[in-house]
Amino acid sequence: MKPTKREKRDLRPALIFLSGDLLAVPIPLEREEVVLGRALEADVRINDTRVSRRHARINAVAGENETTDYVLTDLTSSNGTLLNGQQIKSETLQHGDKITVGKHILRFEMLDEIDREYQREIRRLLSHDDLTGLLSSRSFFSEMRRESERAKQEKRPFCVLMMDIDHFKKVNDTYGHLTGSKTLEEIGLCITQNLRSGDAAARFGGEEFAAFLLDAELAQGLVAAERIRAEIENKRFSVIRQGKAFESHHITISIGVASFPDDSSDPIELVERADSALYHAKRAGRNRVCTYQDLNTEETHKTLSSRRD
């Protein structure tokens, strides 16, 4: 019996980030022209001050024997485009070539379906928390920086929620760490189920969580935060004994909310202000939602009272 010929692999071009916030992200090159740059409208957007708004482009051009070549061209960028360490104006890309734009390095690869799935899984492992499946804190900040820039340009609001489980240590001390881990997993699911498509949630480590809500005014952020708080307060969380759930326990969560651009237009500062609101909720008795504006109102009342006194 003659051996069958191997089927021709379905190879497709992609760029893989080897550094920066988008580490291991595979970007498929599906268009005839793909622009790399800092501008919001760039096809491959790179948040780096050393990258020009339109830095470089990759064009798909007809090659020999019905093949397609991919040509990298520098778009007269301020800091130049490097290919395998050499500055170029225009060069045809080969599998494995490394492109440097600003501080970021990308590798050009021809991937089959198995390769593409592998890259997606690597990215998922790097960008998500293993226990809850939510974004890692690093990925959360990366996503939020991109969304805040888009929000600035399009003049759209969004809200940040910082969340911390109340007295979580008591869960571990009373029921053990298996129950503690299961509780974190179930809380992550509660948060996800109460967000809209397009919103994002993250685990910041330990028992602290965060989320940002796109196109959300402060009032909408408060509604979402209260919905999360109430569901967790009323939920029966699993207690794990010898690998099985035999009973349940209750727990609560405190949440701080800050809004863009009213509380801040800087994404890092916005998280800090939501965090300040969170700790205000903790000090006020836990199991409640507070906003950064609540802190300002309270300080105003204190100032007015001291003046009257």
Active-site positions? 207
Rounded distance, CA 145 to CA 66, Å?
A: 42
Sheet holding 253-260, edge to edge: 200-205, 208-214, 158-165, 253-260, 289-291
Rounded distance, CA 124 to CA 146, Å?
A: 18
Backbone angles phi, psi at 238, to 5 degrees: -70, 140
Residues in contact with 238: Cβ distance below 8 Å, sequence separation at least 6, in sequence order: 179, 182, 183, 186, 245, 248
Q: What's the N-to-C CA distance of the chain in angstroms?
A: 101
Q: Are 108 and 95 in contact (CB under 8 A)?
A: yes
DSSP letter for each residue of 79-92: S-EEETTEEESEEE
Distance of CA 284 to the CA centre of its chain: 30
- The CA dihedral of 205, 207, 213, 216, to the nearest 10 degrees, is -140
Sort 219 into a burial class: Cβ within 10 Å, 0-12 / 13-18 / 19+: exposed
Sort 301 into a burial class: Cβ within 10 Å, 0-12 / 13-18 / 19+: exposed
The crossing angle, in degrees rounded to 10, of helices 292-308 and 267-283 is 60
* Helix residue ranges per DSSP H, the chain: 113-127, 137-154, 168-175, 177-193, 218-234, 267-283, 292-308
